Amino acid sequence: MTAHPTPDAPDTTTRAPLIGLHAVRAGYDRIEVLHGIDLDVHAGEVLAVLGPNGAGKSTLLRVLAGLHLPTAGDLLMGGRVMTGTDPGVLARRGLCLIPEGRGIFPNLTVAENLWMMTNRGPSRDQVEERAYATFPRLGERRAQLAGSMSGGEQQMLAMARAVATDPGVLLLDELSMGLAPLVVGQLYESVAAVAATGVTIVVVEQFVRTVLDVADRAAALVGGRIVVSGTPAEVAPQLHSAYLTTAARPTTEVSP
Ligand code: ATP
């Protein structure tokens, strides 16, 4: 379904997608978990992909980041086929995946975690400034060990590390994992703040409807297929039945 631009949402109808998947199939050994995914992500938009446990959300993000090679179909960037491109090259072109489980260094302070991102070019002061502008709470905790912060703050730090590299596209894997609803709400306010700086965002979640509040477009991924897509207002009412009717589909074993 094509999104209809509104004064507040990016116009996704006139520009080539920034990144996308075309007829992507992917899996592990002979088990196929993505069964033909078409996905367009336009510059400046927030795309939410919702799906139940095991639907293939992390796999989809890993394919987008170039970390998982599809068995069929293509990864596209600016209309060019990038399938099989080294993930490091994609990262240098601005793709940044924040994996489930945060990927920060618990025994380092907040500032030290941020300083590690200077290997991409900016100075220590620059990465800290950039991070604290979007996540002021981290500024108050700059000397605190990352592992001693709350789960929500750690997730903020993971996002701040990514933002410090000035990414074009942020791929967020289940930000809300293990966090209380209030904290999830605050985190998604931060996501909206990051998006407002022009970063394109693809975020996957299981049941968290809060993500729909900040998304320009949404899709439901169930059993390795996109079963519903459109504006958040279009997708939200269909989520429940999409999960219930198709969640039980088995993954497909690929013939040798
Ligand atoms: P969750 O919400 O539980 O993280 P998900 O929607 O992100 O699920 P994936 O993590 O992409 O789903 O997993 C999709 C399927 O692929 C699942 O059946 C999972 O068990 C399987 N899978 C994921 N990673 C591997 C792996 N490294 N080796 C084998 N199978 C895997």
Q: What is the CATH number of the domain that holds 228?
A: 3.40.50.300
Retrieve residue 133's tokens. 């502008």
Distances (CA, A) of 244 to 56, 101, 212, 238, 240: 16, 27, 19, 10, 6
Q: Are residues 174 and 90 part of one domain?
A: yes
Q: Could you list the residue range(s) of the whole structural domain that residue 181 is in? A: 14-94+168-253
Q: Which residues face 76 on adjacent strands?
A: 20, 81
Q: Which atom of ligand 1 is nearest to the CA of 59?
A: 11
CB distance 251 to 64 below 8 Å: no
Residue 200 located in a structural domain: yes
- The model's pTM is 0.87
Q: Are residues 247 and 178 part of one domain?
A: yes
Report the distance separating Cα 127 and Cα 145, nearest Å: 17
Residue nearest to atom 8 of ligand 1 (CA): 54
What's the total number of domains in the chain? 2
How many angstroms is it from 12 CA to the middle of ligand 1?
Answer: 30
Q: Are residues 227 and 157 part of one domain?
A: no
Domain boundary among 166, 181, 208: 166
Q: Are residues 174 and 161 part of one domain?
A: no
Residue 9 located in a structural domain: no
Residue 178 located in a structural domain: yes
Q: Which atom of ligand 1 is nearest to the CA of 60?
A: 11
Q: Is the CB of 54 under 6 A from ligand 1?
A: yes
CA-CA-CA-CA torsion sign (208, 242, 7, 12): positive
Mean pLDDT for each consecutive 10-residue tract of the chain (256 residues)?
A: 41 68 95 96 95 94 96 93 93 88 88 87 88 91 94 91 88 89 89 92 88 94 94 88 60 44
pLDDT at 255 (0 to 100): 43
Q: Are residues 68 and 47 part of one domain?
A: yes
How many angstroms is it from 204 CA to the middle of ligand 1?
Answer: 13
Domain boundary among 166, 186, 202: 166
Domain boundary among 124, 148, 166: 166
Residue 84 located in a structural domain: yes
Q: Are residues 71 and 60 part of one domain?
A: yes
206: which DSSP letter? S
Residue nearest to atom 11 of ligand 1 (CA): 56
Q: Is the CB of 53 under 6 A from ligand 1?
A: yes
Residue 66 located in a structural domain: yes
pLDDT at 158 (0 to 100): 92
Residue 153 located in a structural domain: yes
Report the distance separating Cα 131 and Cα 116, nearest Å: 13
